[in-house]
Amino acid sequence: MNNIDMLLDQLITKETPTIVQISTAKLHPFPAHPFKVQDDEDMEQLTQSIQSQGVLTPLVIRPLENGEYEVISGHRRLHACRKAGIQTVPALVYAINRDAAAIALVDSNLHRERILPSEKAFAYKLKMDALSKQGKRTDLTSDQVGPKLTAATLSSDDSASQVKRYIRLTNLIPGILEKVDEGKIALTPAVELSYLAEAEQKDLLETMESEDCTPSLTQAIQLKQASLQKTLNMDMIFAILRQPKANQQEKIVLKVNDIRRFFPQNYTTIQMTNDIMKGLELLRKQRARSKDAR
């Protein structure tokens, strides 16, 4: 059973809707939709596929009071259709409320192959809020939250405690959360940083960028403790981040924007890194030959 089948299985009512053609102008993204729609290589491939084959899987939508519709499943397909200039798309219309739609939206996307930590964080938060409005207990401070979240909220991969950690990430400011998505800050230290006040997080982000560093788990715990004790300020943040880390090694930092002009426009960072390493290897061999020729 694929994601769409799983979603439809949740939404099936006594009267199964037929596929209808809907103008893309009448379709709107689901509010606070947590899964990013990006103009990347995958989107380009999807756009080309839709141009040549059409939309093979209908969107799943729900009607709004103004005669227009809200997308539950198919945000990427809708974006690709608009890029391709397609003005109508096949869709299944389900008359469900926003909370039920939010739960279905999250469940249909959590099984995707690639999901950013921020996407999981806001997806779990969206579903938790929807379940709460439906009268289901999802109190994150409760000792009983584990079993209840396990039954109502989890994906097939995350435990109850892991879900709670992801939801904590929604307390991070965008700049720090972006570093989590980029893999510069791991999940566990990011959770500790989520307890810092917004002003403290802004000071931390400024320090991380000026010093070109990120906190280790030990440093993140120290930052959290100082915050709870109301003693955390810019000087302390700087002092904590300046502490030597275990197995710390000197590194060379190359910013992508500085070296992008040396590579084809469609190169990924991995391809650029590979070419740099190949170039350095050629330079090493050239120097060895020059030394032998002396």
Number of Cβ within a 10 Å radius of residue 249: 5
pLDDT of residue 267: 81
* DSSP-derived 3-state class of residue 117: helix
pLDDT of residue 22: 92
Q: Which tokens belong to 238?
A: 């700087």
pLDDT of residue 146: 37
pLDDT of residue 140: 47
* DSSP-derived 3-state class of residue 1: coil
- Burial (Cβ within 10 Å: 0-12, 13-18, ≥19) of residue 153: buried
pLDDT of residue 6: 56
108: Cβ contacts below 8 Å, ≥ 6 apart: 3, 4, 6, 7, 60, 72, 73
Q: Which tokens belong to 271?
A: 């391809």
Q: Which tokens belong to 78?
A: 């809708």
What does 261-284 look like in DSSP terms, one character per residue? GGS-TT--HHHHHHHHHHHHHHHH
Phi, psi of 69, rounded to the nearest 5 degrees: -140, 155
Say which CATH class 3-108 falls into.
alpha beta
pLDDT of residue 154: 44
150: Cβ contacts below 8 Å, ≥ 6 apart: 159, 160
Q: Consecutive sets of 10 residues in the chain, 294 residues long: mean pLDDT of each?
A: 56 64 92 84 89 89 90 91 91 88 84 84 90 64 41 58 93 95 94 97 95 94 96 94 69 77 82 87 84 68
Q: Which tokens belong to 258?
A: 């500085």
pLDDT of residue 13: 52
pTM of the model: 0.68
